[in-house]
A and B are shown apart, each in its own frame.
Chain A
């Protein structure tokens, strides 16, 4: 595949590196592959986030990378009806080309897909390309999304979509049962009440009898993946400045503390020096006074004798 592309183009080199990484470290949460005829066109599929009305759904989409990638952000378009983002329309996110000022060159398709999964349960707030369906409708759409992949594009692209769909079917667990659905519906309410936009916590896992050990393990792993990647991205933004601030404070403290010991030592020695000098002076003065008194008395005695 590498022989077909111009390796001197930095965008092509970067995209090939990402393809290698995708193939060497596949994820259970998403699958993404470029077209062979145009490496700047990707097809992806993500699974619905856990403990939400999207759980179990397989949502396909398309990614268009700019020629100046990674210095310019890509654009994302969802193809499967999902109730959160419109289909056949470029969605508006901080990771898409709607906001190039927020894009970071260190982000990649992988981080973008993880962020997309995390954005699904959030409140759209009227953002461009967003929808706000009811939970029941989203749940129905999630069930439908597994039945068949969407029809889109050329036969080559459709073949790629089918391959991705088969991969996701083998990885993503099925849509939970209605009883589990009710439990999962309650959790989003709690999350909304607590104004939490983060991924669900392991403690809030539904205690359905139908869940086997394997599913439990899978759930834990997937949640770890979800929690790890977005947290990593966010932490890298938040922790770095705070760390640098702490370092600055430590440096300033160090500089301030450096002169103090020396100053104190000097002051201490100066005080001792002063005390010693004063003591010596007092002693000398006392001796001089005694000598003067003696000479005075001697004079007096002499005058009395005469």
Chain B
């Protein structure tokens, strides 16, 4: 009896401090199935963390449906997000948790498109014309340059052909809007989309204001011409 109690005391004595420290430190990164530090961690859309071997075994060998082991939400393997830490990626095959099973590699992450580059320096020449804000989008800048040249040529020859100048700018607007909108939505996700959308809106508004002012100016000039010439 005495030896029995001694053994139990020894067994329980060191546990509190060790497990307490480990649970406090690594509790947030423990697998919800094996209660140990996650090996090959993956995280579901509902936010629950598992070892990839544990989750794979549950989804493919024990679960009656593709449900999360914690909250029973639907789990789709293609939407699992792996967590890449700083440690080694490859582990010794002999230390695998399930030596008797063949577990495939965990799903790869969904890498979004590369962030757009900063505004190119070619945008500077257009600053003097009031189109500096559009410098961030190369296609629009190029289109605008072409339209501007065409309009200038026509305007230089005959003043009465200012209408062509007007049409040129209108075309530029249509082209800009068309190319900017889908680019924004194709390139970004989530919060970035919101920010980009706002920027696009602001740019379009300013562009429209500029065109509006130009239109009013042209109209005024046309009126003056009609009054004084005829």
Contacts and interface: CB of A to CB of B under 8 A. Distances in A.
A72 interface: yes
Contacts of A261: 201
B71 A68 contact: no
Interface in B7-27: 8, 11-12, 15-16, 18-20, 23
A280 B224 CA distance: 12
A18 B35 CA distance: 8
Nearest to B219: A280
Interface in A17-39: 17-18, 20-21, 23-24
A26 B193 CA distance: 49
A23 B208 contact: no
Interface string B181-219: 100000000000110010011001100100010011001
Given A17-B35, A291-B230, A106 B215 contact: no
B4 interface: yes
Interface stretch (B54-62, B79-87, B153-161): B54-62
A247 to B, nearest CB: 10
Interface string B42-81: 0001101000001001100110100001111100000000
B23 A21 contact: yes
B108 interface: no
A165 B131 CA distance: 84
Contacts of A134: none
B124 interface: no
Contact of B64 (A72, A101, A237): A101
A21 B71 contact: no
B222 interface: yes
B226 A276 contact: no
A273 B215 CA distance: 8
Interface stretch (A8-16, A85-93, A194-202, A215-223): A8-16
For this complex, into which size category does the number of interface residues on chain A fall?
Answer: 35 or more
B62 A72 contact: yes
B227 interface: yes
Contacts of B12: 23
A265 B62 contact: no
Contact of B69 (A10, A72, A106): A106
Interface residues of B, number: 51
Contact of B99 (A8, A23, A288, A291): A8
A236 B33 contact: no
Contacts of B70: 104, 106, 236, 240
Contacts of A18: 35
B16 A24 contact: yes
A33 to B, nearest CB: 9
Nearest to A156: B4
A238 B64 CA distance: 20
A73 to B, nearest CB: 11
B19 A237 contact: no
Interface in B89-106: 97-99
A186 to B, nearest CB: 38
Interface string A239-267: 01100100000000010001001100110
Nearest to B21: A24
A159 B201 contact: no
Contacts of B20: 24
A272 B223 contact: no
B107 to A, nearest CB: 19
A27 to B, nearest CB: 14
B34 interface: yes
A70 interface: yes
Given A240-B73, A241-B73, A244-B73, A14 B35 contact: yes
A20 B33 contact: no
A287 interface: yes
Given A279-B219, A288-B226, 20 more contacts: A13-B36, A17-B35, A23-B12, A24-B19, A24-B23, A71-B33, A71-B57, A72-B62, A105-B62, A106-B48, A240-B71, A241-B73, A262-B181, A262-B197, A266-B177, A269-B205, A276-B216, A280-B223, A283-B219, A287-B230
20 contacts: A1-B11, A8-B97, A10-B54, A13-B34, A14-B33, A24-B20, A24-B23, A71-B33, A71-B58, A72-B62, A105-B69, A106-B32, A163-B8, A237-B72, A240-B73, A258-B197, A262-B197, A262-B201, A265-B204, A291-B230
Interface of B: 4, 8, 11-12, 15-16, 18-20, 23, 32-36, 45-46, 48, 54, 57-58, 61-62, 64, 69-73, 97-99, 177, 181, 193-194, 197, 200-201, 204-205, 208, 212, 215-216, 219, 222-223, 226-227, 230
